[in-house]
Amino acid sequence: MSNSAPLDPIVVSESPEEKFREFLEIRGEKLTEPRRILIRHIFDSHKHFDADELVADLREAGRRVSRSTVYRTLRLLVEAGLLRELRLTNRSAYEHDYGYPSHDHLHCTECNTIVEFRNEEIQKLREAISQEHGFRSSGHRFVISGVCPTCSRARSPRRRLDLI
């Protein structure tokens, strides 16, 4: 799995862990060992993941955190504004929010890959449309679904051979 982010990270003064501790402190909650393991692991690499992959990933790295705690912590991290949740399939996917610029997604329906992109227009559209309808908007999701270049190339030629 890749460690590189497709978009340049935003410069932030606090580490994700510090920001999480602060969030928990305000609510009178605690930064425990399992939570520390999770936030470090999650922000160690930049990628999209779901709860199951996270559990498997941690197990592989020799760090055991129970599935329940993973789910509970993911919810906290979303509430804290550190992660964003994407509901593209039956299982939720997560991505970094904190320290990462706002962006939208291309979703390949063949291989399930998620590609990020940044487009200034979308923010403006969101604002204009919200205002038009009297909404106080708090966020948006713009997902373009289709077939990525890799899957396009992989499938079209195979089709040809089938016809021979």
Q: 94 or 100: whose CB is closer to DNA?
A: 94
Say whether residue 19 binds DNA (CB under 7 A): no
**Residue 72 is a binding residue for DNA (CB under 7 A):** yes
Tell me if 15 contacts DNA by CB under 7 A: no
24 lies in the binding site for DNA (CB under 7 A): yes
Q: Is 78 in the site for DNA (CB under 7 A)?
A: no
DSSP H/E element including 120: helix 120-132
Give the up-direction half-sphere exposure of residue 120: CA atoms within 13 A in the CB hemisphere. Answer: 0
Does 95 sit near DNA (CB under 7 A)? no
Which residue from 149, 160, 161, 163 is in contact with a second copy, where contact means CB under 8 A? Answer: 149
142 contributes a contact to a second copy by CB under 8 A: yes
Q: Is 116 exposed, middle or buried (0-12, 13-18, 19+ CB in 10 A)?
A: middle
Number of neighbouring beta carbons within 10 Å of residue 47: 19
Stretch that binds a second copy, among 9-17, 38-46, 64-72, 113-121 (CB under 8 A): 113-121
Beta carbons within 10 angstroms of residue 153's beta carbon: 11
Which residue type is seen at 150?
Answer: T
Q: Which of 123, 47, 55, 114 is nearest to 83 (CA)?
A: 47
Binding residues for a second copy, rule: CB under 8 A, are 87-88, 106, 108-109, 115, 117, 119, 121-122, 125-126, 129-130, 132-149, 152
